[in-house]
Structure 1
Amino acid sequence: MDTFAARGYNNASLQEIADRSGVTQAGVLHYFRTKAQLLTSVLDLRDATDIEQLGPDRPRGLAFLRHLVDTARRNTEREGIVRLYAVLSAESVTEGHPAQEYFRDRYAGLRTMVTEALAEASELGETRSDLDLEEAAAAIIAVMDGLQIQWLLAPDSVDMATVTDRVITALLADLTGKPD
């Protein structure tokens, strides 16, 4: 994770990964046939860690949006994972990048999760029902990802949790027609 986060996929060498892991390059390739397979395994581990922290039941409705604020707060304690995600997600837009499908699927899944939470909030009467939920979901994800980059560049100048909370609160005011 640290090597991919620091150097990106293209500049990370299997030798450096092997050295940092205390094995030979052949040892790394014994477990992961290719560098691309190693990358996708690292990304899967990142997701598994996040899912484990969420627990068996995700929050529903507006509680899920509050969970996103907690996620932003928790991310300030996981700089390496945040850096890994930011570097590789940006890098994945390049032609032929091995994580392109992963990030395309991840963003689609995140938009679906947030859209579902907003739909649940509407069904529970927590928000108006005349909203473009997919648009709101994309905006929330964009804010969170943009804040991660700003925080990585100036951690003392950007409070990801506070700003995420402010944006979600403003969005909820729009979604409910009243201040949260």
Structure 2
Amino acid sequence: MPIINIQRLLGKGLMMSLLLMLFFPSKAFLQTINKEIFRLTDINKNSDTSFVPSELATVYIFLSPECPLCQNYTKDINALAKQYGDKISFIGIFPGELYESSEIQAFATKYKLNIPLFRDSNLNLTNFLHVKITPTVTFVEKGKVIYFGAIDNWAIDLGKKRTVTTAHYLADALRQHLSKQAITIKKTEPIGCIIN
């Protein structure tokens, strides 16, 4: 049986693209955001600010006040921020102009969300990180996305949840990062509300 030379068959350019797709399944993993400046609204100060992502490890959590999954995950977000907040920053991002700052503040108050909150009115940061769904988390270290996706596997689909959560993607990524281990799951598909 003849040996097929895949590189000769596909050509070097296509072969390289195939390898990149296998090892970097999302464009988000190729992005660096530490040199970018994003215009965000600080919910607490209700004012626009030039937001420059920190060099420190940061978890950006994209949320919507009316998304039931975002509401349900506030306890988990607070617990992770309390456990890891002295070593890793947690920042809530509300994409788009659908909600006023007062609505986001009411959401944060009702669900006792204790992390800094910003509104990404023009979707600059949201689009840069290829976020389409809330809730979505992006764990960034030194400007590179090292985990992207769901908080855990509790939600199977909209309106469909597991009785027991069996995979804690974000918590595992945080723990592995802090113990200097390789992050075993770098990308998952978030489930939730589509960003308009």
Q: What is the TM-score when the length of structure 1 is the normalising length?
A: 0.25
Which structure has greater helix proportion?
Answer: 1
TM-score (norm 2): 0.24
